[in-house]
Amino acid sequence: MNPFTRRADDAPHWRHEAACYGEELDLFFPVGVAGPAVWQVSQAKAICEGCPVRAQCLQYALRTGQDHGVWGGLTPQERRELRRADDARGA
């Protein structure tokens, strides 16, 4: 379940400020890594780029172990790489 479909009292407080608020959520949760999914990721990242709560979104995804979708402008693979780099630095 993502924070935009959870009960209001469970959802992150920043969600209403997100640039993606009101956007079609399927855009942020593409199926696959080729074809239309490439376009979806590109479009999702473009929305995230200017988001005022991008950092909070990314931190939420990292803290809660989100392993699907674009969060804070990063794909699951990019978030895994970020976690590995943090682990290697001892962060």
Binding residues for [4Fe-4S] cluster: 20, 48, 51, 57
Give binding residues as ranges: 20, 48, 51, 57
Tell me the Ramachandran region of residue 38: left when phi exceeds 0, alpha when psi lies from -120 to 50, beta otherwise.
alpha
| CA–CA distance, 76 with 83 (Å, rounded to integer) | 11
Cα–Cα distance, 84 to 64 (Å, whole number) = 16
Residue listed under structure tokens 């640039």: 19
